[in-house]
Structure 1
Amino acid sequence: MIKQVLFVQGAGEGVHDHWDDKLVASLKRELGGNYVVRYPRMPREDNPSFSAWKAALRKEFASLEDGAMLVGHSFGGTILIRALAEQPPTPRLGGLFLIAAPFIGEGGWPSDDIGDAEDFSGSLPPGLPVRLYHGTDDDEVPTAHVHLYAKAIPHAVVRTLDGRDHQFNDDMSEVARDIVSFC
Protein backbone atom coordinates (compact mmCIF):
# COMPACT_ATOMS: atom_id res chain seq x y z
CA MET A 1 0.00 0.00 0.00
CA ILE A 2 1.35 3.42 -1.00
CA LYS A 3 1.46 5.95 1.83
CA GLN A 4 0.91 9.69 1.42
CA VAL A 5 3.22 12.45 2.60
CA LEU A 6 2.23 16.10 2.23
CA PHE A 7 5.23 18.45 2.26
CA VAL A 8 4.47 22.12 2.92
CA GLN A 9 7.16 24.49 1.66
CA GLY A 10 8.66 27.44 3.46
CA ALA A 11 8.16 31.07 2.45
CA GLY A 12 10.30 33.38 0.33
CA GLU A 13 10.95 34.17 -3.28
CA GLY A 14 11.83 31.04 -5.24
CA VAL A 15 11.59 28.70 -2.25
CA HIS A 16 9.38 26.11 -3.98
CA ASP A 17 11.58 25.69 -7.05
CA HIS A 18 15.07 26.51 -5.76
CA TRP A 19 15.25 25.59 -2.08
CA ASP A 20 12.65 23.26 -0.64
CA ASP A 21 12.58 21.17 -3.81
CA LYS A 22 15.93 19.76 -2.63
CA LEU A 23 14.39 18.74 0.70
CA VAL A 24 11.53 17.04 -1.14
CA ALA A 25 13.98 15.22 -3.45
CA SER A 26 15.92 13.96 -0.43
CA LEU A 27 12.73 12.87 1.32
CA LYS A 28 11.52 10.98 -1.76
CA ARG A 29 14.89 9.27 -2.17
CA GLU A 30 15.02 8.26 1.51
CA LEU A 31 11.42 7.04 1.67
CA GLY A 32 11.51 4.98 -1.51
CA GLY A 33 8.70 3.66 -3.65
CA ASN A 34 6.17 2.89 -0.93
CA TYR A 35 5.49 6.61 -0.46
CA VAL A 36 4.13 9.39 -2.62
CA VAL A 37 5.29 12.86 -1.59
CA ARG A 38 2.93 15.65 -2.58
CA TYR A 39 4.55 19.06 -2.86
CA PRO A 40 1.99 21.74 -3.71
CA ARG A 41 3.04 25.28 -4.56
CA MET A 42 1.71 27.58 -1.88
CA PRO A 43 0.12 30.92 -2.89
CA ARG A 44 2.30 34.03 -2.97
CA GLU A 45 5.32 32.30 -1.47
CA ASP A 46 7.25 35.58 -1.52
CA ASN A 47 4.58 37.40 0.53
CA PRO A 48 2.53 34.73 2.31
CA SER A 49 -0.59 35.19 4.38
CA PHE A 50 -1.98 32.78 6.92
CA SER A 51 -5.48 32.86 5.43
CA ALA A 52 -4.33 32.11 1.87
CA TRP A 53 -2.02 29.29 2.93
CA LYS A 54 -4.64 27.86 5.31
CA ALA A 55 -7.18 27.79 2.45
CA ALA A 56 -4.67 26.01 0.19
CA LEU A 57 -3.93 23.49 2.95
CA ARG A 58 -7.65 22.81 3.48
CA LYS A 59 -7.87 21.78 -0.19
CA GLU A 60 -4.85 19.52 0.22
CA PHE A 61 -6.24 17.98 3.43
CA ALA A 62 -9.46 17.08 1.59
CA SER A 63 -7.60 14.59 -0.62
CA LEU A 64 -5.58 12.90 2.13
CA GLU A 65 -6.14 9.31 3.13
CA ASP A 66 -6.02 7.88 6.64
CA GLY A 67 -2.44 7.56 7.84
CA ALA A 68 -1.10 10.47 5.76
CA MET A 69 2.02 12.15 7.10
CA LEU A 70 2.37 15.94 7.19
CA VAL A 71 5.76 17.64 6.89
CA GLY A 72 6.19 21.40 7.15
CA HIS A 73 9.41 23.31 6.60
CA SER A 74 10.05 26.73 8.11
CA PHE A 75 7.05 29.05 7.68
CA GLY A 76 5.18 26.11 6.10
CA GLY A 77 5.50 24.27 9.41
CA THR A 78 4.22 27.29 11.32
CA ILE A 79 1.16 27.54 9.09
CA LEU A 80 0.62 23.78 9.04
CA ILE A 81 0.39 23.39 12.81
CA ARG A 82 -1.87 26.44 13.10
CA ALA A 83 -4.22 25.11 10.41
CA LEU A 84 -4.33 21.69 12.11
CA ALA A 85 -5.02 23.23 15.51
CA GLU A 86 -7.88 25.36 14.16
CA GLN A 87 -9.57 22.62 12.17
CA PRO A 88 -8.09 19.12 11.94
CA PRO A 89 -8.75 17.29 8.67
CA THR A 90 -11.20 14.39 8.53
CA PRO A 91 -8.68 11.62 7.79
CA ARG A 92 -6.77 10.17 10.73
CA LEU A 93 -3.23 11.48 10.32
CA GLY A 94 -0.14 9.33 10.79
CA GLY A 95 2.19 12.03 12.04
CA LEU A 96 3.25 15.68 11.99
CA PHE A 97 6.87 16.65 11.31
CA LEU A 98 7.97 20.28 11.69
CA ILE A 99 11.40 21.29 10.39
CA ALA A 100 13.00 24.59 11.46
CA ALA A 101 9.57 26.15 12.05
CA PRO A 102 9.47 29.69 13.47
CA PHE A 103 7.49 29.92 16.69
CA ILE A 104 5.01 32.80 16.72
CA GLY A 105 4.36 34.10 20.19
CA GLU A 106 6.09 34.88 23.47
CA GLY A 107 9.81 34.20 23.14
CA GLY A 108 9.50 33.68 19.39
CA TRP A 109 8.65 36.00 16.53
CA PRO A 110 5.79 38.49 16.43
CA SER A 111 3.18 38.40 13.67
CA ASP A 112 0.19 40.56 12.88
CA ASP A 113 -1.11 37.82 10.56
CA ILE A 114 -0.88 34.84 12.93
CA GLY A 115 -1.97 34.81 16.55
CA ASP A 116 0.42 33.86 19.34
CA ALA A 117 0.94 30.17 19.95
CA GLU A 118 -0.49 28.59 23.03
CA ASP A 119 -0.58 25.03 24.29
CA PHE A 120 -1.38 23.01 21.17
CA SER A 121 -1.86 19.72 23.01
CA GLY A 122 -5.63 20.13 23.30
CA SER A 123 -6.25 21.41 19.79
CA LEU A 124 -4.24 18.96 17.67
CA PRO A 125 -5.90 15.69 16.61
CA PRO A 126 -5.89 13.28 19.57
CA GLY A 127 -2.96 10.85 19.54
CA LEU A 128 -1.17 12.60 16.68
CA PRO A 129 2.57 11.87 16.90
CA VAL A 130 4.59 15.08 16.55
CA ARG A 131 8.30 15.36 15.75
CA LEU A 132 10.13 18.69 15.88
CA TYR A 133 13.47 19.11 14.08
CA HIS A 134 15.97 21.95 14.15
CA GLY A 135 19.57 22.27 13.04
CA THR A 136 22.17 23.79 15.34
CA ASP A 137 23.62 25.81 12.43
CA ASP A 138 20.31 27.41 11.39
CA ASP A 139 20.99 31.09 10.64
CA GLU A 140 17.36 31.84 9.74
CA VAL A 141 15.36 30.60 12.73
CA PRO A 142 17.06 30.39 16.15
CA THR A 143 17.23 26.92 17.69
CA ALA A 144 15.33 28.26 20.71
CA HIS A 145 12.15 28.13 18.59
CA VAL A 146 12.07 24.32 18.61
CA HIS A 147 12.10 24.38 22.42
CA LEU A 148 9.22 26.88 22.46
CA TYR A 149 7.23 24.45 20.30
CA ALA A 150 8.18 21.62 22.66
CA LYS A 151 6.61 23.57 25.55
CA ALA A 152 3.47 24.20 23.47
CA ILE A 153 3.26 20.52 22.41
CA PRO A 154 4.34 18.57 25.50
CA HIS A 155 4.03 15.14 23.83
CA ALA A 156 6.28 16.13 20.88
CA VAL A 157 9.69 14.57 20.37
CA VAL A 158 12.47 17.10 19.69
CA ARG A 159 15.41 16.30 17.45
CA THR A 160 18.15 18.93 17.41
CA LEU A 161 20.67 17.98 14.72
CA ASP A 162 24.28 19.12 14.95
CA GLY A 163 25.71 20.94 11.96
CA ARG A 164 22.42 21.25 10.09
CA ASP A 165 21.45 24.59 8.58
CA HIS A 166 17.98 25.98 7.90
CA GLN A 167 17.70 23.78 4.81
CA PHE A 168 18.95 20.78 6.80
CA ASN A 169 21.92 20.59 4.42
CA ASP A 170 19.35 19.18 1.96
CA ASP A 171 19.30 15.91 3.95
CA MET A 172 15.98 14.58 5.19
CA SER A 173 17.24 11.14 6.23
CA GLU A 174 16.28 11.50 9.92
CA VAL A 175 12.80 12.73 9.03
CA ALA A 176 12.35 9.85 6.58
CA ARG A 177 13.43 7.31 9.20
CA ASP A 178 10.87 8.69 11.63
CA ILE A 179 8.11 8.62 9.01
CA VAL A 180 8.89 5.00 8.17
CA SER A 181 8.92 4.10 11.88
CA PHE A 182 5.28 5.22 12.18
CA CYS A 183 4.03 2.99 9.36
Structure 2
Amino acid sequence: MKLIFIHAAGPQGVNEGSTNLLQFLKQNLGKSMEIIAPEMPTPENPNAADWMDTLDAAIHKVDERIILMGHSLGASIIFKYLSERKCENGICGIISLAAPYWGLSDWQSEQFTIGCCLKETINPSIPIRLYHDFADDVVPYQHVNAYANALPQAEVIGVTGQGHLFEKGFPELIRVIQSLSTQNEKTIINP
Protein backbone atom coordinates (compact mmCIF):
# COMPACT_ATOMS: atom_id res chain seq x y z
CA MET A 1 0.00 0.00 0.00
CA LYS A 2 1.32 3.42 -0.96
CA LEU A 3 0.04 6.96 -0.52
CA ILE A 4 0.45 9.30 -3.48
CA PHE A 5 0.34 12.89 -2.26
CA ILE A 6 -0.11 15.80 -4.68
CA HIS A 7 0.82 19.16 -3.21
CA ALA A 8 -0.83 22.56 -3.63
CA ALA A 9 0.09 25.27 -6.11
CA GLY A 10 2.53 27.97 -5.12
CA PRO A 11 5.93 27.90 -3.43
CA GLN A 12 6.78 24.59 -1.74
CA GLY A 13 9.85 25.56 0.26
CA VAL A 14 10.33 25.26 4.02
CA ASN A 15 7.09 26.28 5.80
CA GLU A 16 5.40 27.04 2.47
CA GLY A 17 2.48 25.45 0.66
CA SER A 18 1.95 21.78 1.47
CA THR A 19 5.39 21.11 3.02
CA ASN A 20 4.29 21.17 6.67
CA LEU A 21 1.30 18.94 5.92
CA LEU A 22 3.56 16.49 4.10
CA GLN A 23 6.00 16.48 7.05
CA PHE A 24 3.11 15.78 9.42
CA LEU A 25 2.10 12.79 7.29
CA LYS A 26 5.64 11.41 7.14
CA GLN A 27 6.17 11.79 10.89
CA ASN A 28 2.86 10.21 11.84
CA LEU A 29 2.68 7.42 9.30
CA GLY A 30 6.30 6.48 9.83
CA LYS A 31 7.35 3.28 8.17
CA SER A 32 3.81 1.92 8.05
CA MET A 33 3.21 3.46 4.63
CA GLU A 34 5.41 4.75 1.86
CA ILE A 35 4.47 8.24 0.74
CA ILE A 36 5.15 9.20 -2.86
CA ALA A 37 5.07 12.99 -3.20
CA PRO A 38 6.20 14.04 -6.68
CA GLU A 39 7.35 17.60 -7.13
CA MET A 40 4.79 19.06 -9.47
CA PRO A 41 6.07 21.12 -12.41
CA THR A 42 6.04 24.91 -12.16
CA PRO A 43 3.97 25.07 -8.96
CA GLU A 44 3.83 28.87 -9.09
CA ASN A 45 2.39 28.76 -12.61
CA PRO A 46 0.73 25.34 -12.82
CA ASN A 47 -0.47 23.72 -16.00
CA ALA A 48 -3.22 21.11 -15.65
CA ALA A 49 -1.90 18.80 -18.37
CA ASP A 50 1.63 18.82 -16.95
CA TRP A 51 0.36 18.12 -13.45
CA MET A 52 -1.83 15.25 -14.68
CA ASP A 53 1.15 13.79 -16.56
CA THR A 54 3.23 13.93 -13.36
CA LEU A 55 0.44 12.26 -11.39
CA ASP A 56 0.11 9.63 -14.12
CA ALA A 57 3.84 8.86 -13.94
CA ALA A 58 3.66 8.50 -10.14
CA ILE A 59 0.67 6.16 -10.37
CA HIS A 60 2.31 3.99 -13.02
CA LYS A 61 5.48 3.53 -10.95
CA VAL A 62 3.42 1.72 -8.31
CA ASP A 63 2.32 -1.87 -8.77
CA GLU A 64 0.18 -2.17 -5.67
CA ARG A 65 -2.90 -0.57 -4.17
CA ILE A 66 -2.80 3.16 -3.58
CA ILE A 67 -4.47 5.96 -1.70
CA LEU A 68 -4.63 9.22 -3.61
CA MET A 69 -4.39 12.35 -1.49
CA GLY A 70 -4.29 15.93 -2.68
CA HIS A 71 -4.08 19.33 -1.08
CA SER A 72 -5.78 22.33 -2.68
CA LEU A 73 -4.93 22.37 -6.41
CA GLY A 74 -3.35 18.93 -5.96
CA ALA A 75 -6.73 17.52 -4.93
CA SER A 76 -8.56 19.13 -7.83
CA ILE A 77 -5.92 17.71 -10.19
CA ILE A 78 -6.60 14.22 -8.81
CA PHE A 79 -10.31 14.60 -9.56
CA LYS A 80 -9.61 16.02 -13.04
CA TYR A 81 -7.19 13.16 -13.75
CA LEU A 82 -9.74 10.56 -12.67
CA SER A 83 -12.40 12.18 -14.85
CA GLU A 84 -10.23 12.09 -17.97
CA ARG A 85 -7.78 9.21 -17.74
CA LYS A 86 -7.97 5.52 -17.03
CA CYS A 87 -6.28 4.32 -13.87
CA GLU A 88 -5.48 0.61 -13.74
CA ASN A 89 -4.11 0.61 -10.19
CA GLY A 90 -6.26 -0.53 -7.29
CA ILE A 91 -7.36 2.64 -5.56
CA CYS A 92 -8.62 2.05 -2.06
CA GLY A 93 -9.37 5.67 -1.18
CA ILE A 94 -9.22 9.32 -2.14
CA ILE A 95 -8.56 12.07 0.38
CA SER A 96 -9.05 15.70 -0.58
CA LEU A 97 -8.00 18.69 1.53
CA ALA A 98 -9.24 22.21 0.65
CA ALA A 99 -9.85 21.43 -3.02
CA PRO A 100 -11.03 24.24 -5.27
CA TYR A 101 -13.96 23.32 -7.50
CA TRP A 102 -13.13 25.00 -10.79
CA GLY A 103 -16.09 26.50 -12.60
CA LEU A 104 -17.72 28.15 -9.59
CA SER A 105 -18.13 31.91 -9.52
CA ASP A 106 -14.70 33.61 -9.27
CA TRP A 107 -13.03 30.22 -9.90
CA GLN A 108 -13.04 30.06 -13.67
CA SER A 109 -10.20 28.25 -15.40
CA GLU A 110 -10.91 26.14 -18.44
CA GLN A 111 -7.74 24.05 -18.03
CA PHE A 112 -8.66 22.98 -14.46
CA THR A 113 -12.43 22.61 -14.87
CA ILE A 114 -13.69 19.04 -14.89
CA GLY A 115 -15.51 18.48 -18.16
CA CYS A 116 -17.67 15.47 -17.27
CA CYS A 117 -19.71 14.03 -14.48
CA LEU A 118 -17.36 12.72 -11.75
CA LYS A 119 -19.83 10.17 -10.44
CA GLU A 120 -19.72 8.48 -13.85
CA THR A 121 -15.93 8.12 -13.90
CA ILE A 122 -15.08 7.26 -10.30
CA ASN A 123 -16.14 3.86 -9.05
CA PRO A 124 -18.83 4.51 -6.39
CA SER A 125 -17.33 1.87 -4.08
CA ILE A 126 -14.13 3.90 -3.60
CA PRO A 127 -14.27 5.80 -0.31
CA ILE A 128 -13.75 9.53 -0.73
CA ARG A 129 -13.09 11.91 2.17
CA LEU A 130 -13.42 15.63 1.49
CA TYR A 131 -11.82 17.75 4.23
CA HIS A 132 -12.32 21.51 4.28
CA ASP A 133 -11.88 24.13 6.99
CA PHE A 134 -15.05 26.10 7.65
CA ALA A 135 -12.95 29.30 7.76
CA ASP A 136 -10.69 28.62 4.75
CA ASP A 137 -9.83 32.11 3.51
CA VAL A 138 -8.34 30.92 0.20
CA VAL A 139 -10.87 28.36 -1.07
CA PRO A 140 -14.33 29.06 0.39
CA TYR A 141 -16.25 26.22 2.03
CA GLN A 142 -18.85 26.19 -0.79
CA HIS A 143 -16.27 24.37 -2.93
CA VAL A 144 -16.46 21.22 -0.81
CA ASN A 145 -20.25 21.26 -1.17
CA ALA A 146 -19.86 21.34 -4.96
CA TYR A 147 -17.63 18.24 -4.80
CA ALA A 148 -20.12 16.54 -2.48
CA ASN A 149 -22.87 17.14 -5.04
CA ALA A 150 -20.69 15.71 -7.82
CA LEU A 151 -19.62 12.68 -5.77
CA PRO A 152 -22.55 11.16 -3.88
CA GLN A 153 -20.34 8.57 -2.15
CA ALA A 154 -18.05 11.26 -0.70
CA GLU A 155 -18.01 12.03 2.99
CA VAL A 156 -17.60 15.73 3.79
CA ILE A 157 -15.65 16.51 6.94
CA GLY A 158 -15.69 20.15 7.99
CA VAL A 159 -12.85 21.09 10.31
CA THR A 160 -11.80 24.14 12.29
CA GLY A 161 -8.38 25.52 13.06
CA GLN A 162 -6.63 24.18 9.95
CA GLY A 163 -7.05 27.15 7.63
CA HIS A 164 -6.25 26.48 4.00
CA LEU A 165 -2.81 24.94 4.49
CA PHE A 166 -3.70 22.14 6.94
CA GLU A 167 -0.10 22.60 8.09
CA LYS A 168 -0.74 21.38 11.64
CA GLY A 169 -2.28 18.13 10.51
CA PHE A 170 -4.69 16.29 12.78
CA PRO A 171 -4.92 12.77 14.22
CA GLU A 172 -8.16 11.85 12.41
CA LEU A 173 -6.38 12.21 9.09
CA ILE A 174 -3.82 9.57 10.09
CA ARG A 175 -6.57 7.25 11.34
CA VAL A 176 -8.47 7.57 8.04
CA ILE A 177 -5.33 6.81 5.99
CA GLN A 178 -4.56 3.77 8.15
CA SER A 179 -8.17 2.58 7.90
CA LEU A 180 -8.18 2.89 4.11
CA SER A 181 -4.88 1.04 3.89
CA THR A 182 -6.30 -2.01 5.64
CA GLN A 183 -9.12 -2.51 3.15
CA ASN A 184 -8.60 -5.70 1.18
CA GLU A 185 -10.96 -5.17 -1.71
CA LYS A 186 -9.30 -3.87 -4.86
CA THR A 187 -11.34 -1.36 -6.76
CA ILE A 188 -10.61 0.07 -10.17
CA ILE A 189 -11.27 3.56 -11.48
CA ASN A 190 -12.93 3.65 -14.90
CA PRO A 191 -13.42 -0.14 -15.24
1:121/1:152 contact within 8 Å kept: yes
Tell me the secondary structure at the aligned position of residue 158 of structure 1.
strand
Q: Map 1:129-168; keep pairs closer than 5 Å.
A: 129-168=127-166
2:83/2:114 contact within 8 Å kept: no
1:30/1:172 contact within 8 Å kept: no
**Residue 126 of structure 2 aligns with which residue?**
128
Counterpart among 65, 80, 83 of residue 81 in structure 2 = 83
- 1:114 to partner: Cα distance: 2.4
Tell me the secondary structure at the aligned position of residue 5 of structure 1.
strand
2:65/2:92 contact within 8 Å kept: yes
**Residue 114 of structure 1 aligns with which residue?**
112
Q: Counterparts of 1:142 and 1:41 in 2: how far apart (Å)? A: 26
**Residue 60 of structure 2 aligns with which residue?**
62
2:36/2:58 contact within 8 Å kept: no
Counterpart among 81, 90, 93 of residue 91 in structure 2 = 93
Q: After TM superposition, which residue ranges in structure 1, 4 or more long, deviate above 6 angstroms?
A: none
CA offset digits 1:83-126 (Å, max 9, x no partner): 01211321111111010000012457211322346531111145
1:10/1:75 contact within 8 Å kept: yes
2:101/2:144 contact within 8 Å kept: yes
Structure 2: stretches of 5+ with no match in the other structure: 183-191
Percentage identity across paired residues of the two chains? 31
**Which range moved further: 48-57 or 81-90?**
81-90
Amino acid at match of 2:152: P
**Residue 27 of structure 1 aligns with which residue?**
25
CA offset digits 1:45-91 (Å, max 9, x no partner): 00001111111111111012332111000001111111012113211
2:96/2:130 contact within 8 Å kept: yes
Amino acid at match of 1:35: M
Tell me the secondary structure at the aligned position of residue 33 of structure 1.
helix
Instruction: Count how many residue pairs are aligned between Structure 1 and Structure 2.
Output: 180
**Residue 173 of structure 1 aligns with which residue?**
171
2:136/2:164 contact within 8 Å kept: yes
Give the alignment's TM-score, normalised by structure 2: 0.87
**Residue 15 of structure 1 aligns with which residue?**
12
Counterpart among 47, 50, 70 of residue 49 in structure 1 = 47
Q: Counterparts of 1:144 and 1:167 in 2: how far apart (Å)? A: 17
**Which range moved further: 159-168 or 104-113?**
104-113
**Which range moved further: 50-59 or 171-180?**
171-180
1:104/1:117 contact within 8 Å kept: no
| Pair 1:116–1:55, CA change in 2 (3 A) | closer
| Pair 1:8–1:156, CA change in 2 (3 A) | same
Amino acid at match of 1:21: T
| Pair 1:161–1:127, CA change in 2 (3 A) | same
